Amino acid sequence: MNESTIAPGGGQPGLAALTAGQPSEEPGARQPSVGSAEVGSVALRTFEARQNTAQVTTVTDHDADLAAYGLAYGEFAYGAYDDPDAEYEPDPEYAATLAPDAARQRRERVGPTGRPLPYFPIPAPVAEHGPAQIIAMCNQKGGVGKTTSTINLGAALAEYGRRVLLVDFDPQGALSVGLGVNPMELDVTVYNLLMERGLTADEVLLKTAVPGMDLLPSNIDLSAAEVQLVSEVARESALARALKPLLPDYDYVIIDCQPSLGLLTVNALTAAHSVIVPLECEFFALRGVALLTETIEKVCERLNPDLRLDGILATMYDSRTVHSREVLARVVEAFGEHVFHTVIGRTVRFPETTVAGEPITTYATNSVGAAAYRQLAREVLDRCRPAE
């Protein structure tokens, strides 16, 4: 294996302020604390009853993140991303102000998808690794959270003791950049692994700063493969052939697909056991899902009969907007149980992690974004179990 190691960058900046409408403070002043309790890997806010109103007070930067998230995302900020064994009940008067239907959701333990929120336990360690389950992170629309979800799902799975390989299969190299790699400085990439006989994966693999997670990087050279593969025999299976020797060494291989339905994406779907479709909670993102599912069905019929749709992952969700809630409701209505219970909300931490070149699970360990991807990892482990 290439001994190059991807180093994370930057430290964790503090959150400057809470959401609009929060009482201002003089420098150095502190409002009465309502406290915080550490449960598992996620710090949960605790609340005290107030006579007329409930106020959220900043104690630390992390508390501020949690408070801001609660104001933005309502029920799903509390009890859905926390430690699954923890019991937590905030002040009911305050909970009712968080978002529409928040109080009802809390009483009924209903997640933002409108379904009862199941229990996803902390996974047990594995005695041995492999063979890997291959997941294609796929959506022909750009900017829906594919790369962010690939990085952070992989890092969360690695935290749970799984060996993970991330495959940057987008010529833009966003996955590589998101892990601190400069694609233009790479001598060999996944393109060379596809097109050059005699090149082994060990010559291309990079270790990341996350223990147990490796990377097959990419750069603009990969765009040439779409043209060059046209004349190749079994062109749709080129990636599957390249990954086959690596499968015994990993538990999960996650492929970050390019935002198109071209030959590279077909290669990823042919190599994969399952597909996760990140979907921004926005109308234009919803329109393309039917075309993508049609492509998945064709690949399943003609090239990869074992391919399955594991789930639609709602991203950039904001329960404060009617539009986000309506889009999510339509997706659940159309795809039912194929929609993940975990929903990824908007947070400023995700753009910051791209600049830092590391996953949110290491950049902001106790943030709600990190907790969300840990919950997604538990749900994926539950959904993507190999058939007995």
Give the number of other CB atoms < 10 A from CB of residue 97. 14
Q: Does CATH place domain 133-383 in 3.40.50.720?
A: no
The pLDDT of 56-82, averaged and rounded, is 40
For residues 259 and 386, give the distance between their C-alpha atoms in angstroms, rounded to a whole number: 28
What are 39's strand-pairing partners?
Answer: 42
Residue 40 has pLDDT above 80, yes or no: no
Rounded to 5 degrees, what are φ and ψ at 196? -110, 120
What share of the chain in percent tops pLDDT 90? 35
Q: Which of 63-67, 219-223, 329-333, 347-351 has the highest mean pLDDT?
A: 219-223
Residue 151 has pLDDT above 70, yes or no: yes
Residue 37 has pLDDT above 60, yes or no: no
Domain range list for the chain: 36-108, 133-383
Kindly report, residue by residue over 208-236, the tens digit of the pLDDT. 999 999 999 999 999 999 889 888 888 89
Look at 104 and 33; give whichever has higher pLDDT. Answer: 104
Antiparallel, parallel or unpaired: β 36-39 and 42-45? antiparallel
- Mean pLDDT lowest among 69-78, 162-171, 178-187, 277-286: 69-78
Q: What is the Rg, in whole angstroms, of the alpha carbon atoms belonging to the chain?
A: 21
Give the number of other CB atoms < 10 A from CB of residue 219. 22
**What is the 8-class DSSP label of residue 11?**
-
pTM of this structure: 0.72
> Angle at Cα 351 formed by Cα 29 and Cα 111, nearest 5°?
85
Banded model confidence at residue 15, pLDDT cuts 50, 70, 90? very low
> Angle at Cα 160 formed by Cα 159 and Cα 165, nearest 5°?
70
What are the CA-CA distances from residue 175 to residues 162, 230, 262, 279, 353 (Å)?
Answer: 19, 25, 19, 18, 12
